[in-house]
Amino acid sequence: MAYVVGAIATSHTPTIGFAFDNDKASDPVWAPIFAAYKPIQRWLADKRPDVLLFIHNDHVTSFFFDHYSAFSLGIGASWAVADEGGGARDLPPVPGHPDLARHIGTVLMSEEFDMSFFQHRALDHGCFSPLSMMVPHESATAGAPDKAAWPVAVIPLQIGVLQFPIPTARRCFKLGRALRLAIESYPGDLRVAIVATGGLSHQVHGERAGFNNPEWDAEFMDLFESAPERLVEMTHAEYATRGGMEGSEVIMWLVMRGAMAPRMRRLHRTYYLPSMTGIATAIYEDDELAVTPADVERARKDSTHQLAGIENLPGTYPFDFVRSVKAYRLNDFLHRLVEPAHRQAFLDAPEPLFDAFGLTQEERDLVRRRDWRGMIHYGVIFFMLEKLGAVIGVSNLHIYAAMRGQTLEEFQKTRNAPNALYSVTGQKGARNEWDTQPDNGHA
């Protein structure tokens, strides 16, 4: 089973990545930052985690207000470094761990945390600023292609702390407990370190910009170790009062605290306030059992309960993480048919568009042959098929019949209204020869 080797807490200020990229180790202003991460580098080299479960927030880089979510787990295979304006840092993508992420996501949902899930989103300084200082790695441009660019995989857990309302400190702590059950119930043999990022005190907006409170930062780190129940009771306003508005992101640390044993041991702790944000680092290990084997077993059982027996339904393919990750490229290609320019390009010349989206030969062939059943087997979700149908003038009923291996006429005989044909197209002109009656089926 997966095993939690311990936890790291770290600020994620852009200054950490800046100091690293500009080789400021011998500059007295930046040297304390480098010194703070030395014990973390040694600890990671000693513990050799396979995966870092990286709790962080995005800074309106890859997660915008068109759809803002509280708890977002990254289930993808790779994580690129984001361009935050002015170009991305010279860092290679860090590998994800889709299999462990799939399991963690499933358990968190069965533990009744309504997660969101993402892939193909670049990660900003919330992740890469401390990561680049913590772990040895190649540069993106100089890295030898046959060498692993990073020695560890990352599963990002992105927490929406910027658009209120945001999760309470208590909810973060509870998520941590479920997270521990999720990690430890994974059947594979993996070593996992939990990394909590954010803070400490800072405010970067408004007339209060530049606010710091080192006394509170020290008290926060004391309470974090020995009395986290005091921290989970605090409101967002109390965090902002004592640690600055943006400093209230330290509630993300409580996810890690909830995942650790009630009694934990501190191996390392530093604090340095060079400019706008108190930069903290720490290492913790459990000092007692965090979760019982019985709790882990109960969580594992519960996580399979909802879909138990689904495999007995013939011709049924639940759209799960495995299918979502595998078929992302093709689903994305078909999803973009909702954009007029993309669908026109597809109708005019599909082959160059296949090239532009890097579809595999198998994926192109499925689309070329309008292999509706094959696409479902491959991992395309049905709602992409009906979009493709709407674009090329095929009704939903044609698609249903083809998936069943029947002619349209055979399938229509099984319907109460055998003449009903429809599609999701909103334009009459896009209907095809099947639409012989003006209002046929468009009730």
Active site residues: 125, 202
Residue 263: closest CA among 225, 306, 229, 235 = 225
Taking the complex as a whole, how short is the minimal distance between the CB of residue 294 and Fe ion, in angstroms? 37
Q: Mark 287-326 with x for binding to Fe ion (rule: CB under 5 A) and - for no binding.
A: ----------------------------------------
Taking the complex as a whole, how short is the minimal distance between the CB of residue 255 and Fe ion, in angstroms? 14
Residues 220-259 binding Fe ion (CB under 5 A) are 249
Question: Nearest 5°: phi and psi at 411?
Answer: -70, -40
For Fe ion, which is the closer residue by CB, 163 or 304?
A: 163
Taking the complex as a whole, how short is the minimal distance between the CB of residue 60 and Fe ion, in angstroms? 10
Instruction: Assess contact for 105 and 90: CB atoms under 8 A.
Output: no
How many residues bind Fe ion (CB under 5 A)? The answer is 2
Chain Cα centroid distance, residue 60: 14
Q: Mark 39-68 with x for binding to Fe ion (rule: CB under 5 A) and - for no binding.
A: ------------------x-----------
For Fe ion, which is the closer residue by CB, 63 or 400?
A: 63
β-bridge partners, 265: 285
Q: Determine how many CB atoms are found less than 10 A away from the CB of residue 272.
A: 17
Taking the complex as a whole, how short is the minimal distance between the CB of residue 391 and Fe ion, in angstroms? 41
Instruction: Assess contact for 9 and 253: CB atoms under 8 A.
Output: yes
For Fe ion, which is the closer residue by CB, 204 or 218?
A: 204
Residue 324: closest CA among 78, 70, 75, 158 = 75
Taking the complex as a whole, how short is the minimal distance between the CB of residue 172 and Fe ion, in angstroms? 14
For Fe ion, which is the closer residue by CB, 100 or 254?
A: 254
Residue 434: closest CA among 415, 417, 421 = 421
For Fe ion, which is the closer residue by CB, 129 or 303?
A: 129
CB contact set of 85 (below 8 Å; sequence gap of 6+): none
Q: How far apart are CA 92 and CA 103, in angstroms?
A: 26
Per-residue b/e over 75-85, b at no fewer than 16 CB within 10 Å?
bbbebbbbebe
- Binding residues for Fe ion, per CB under 5 A? 57, 249
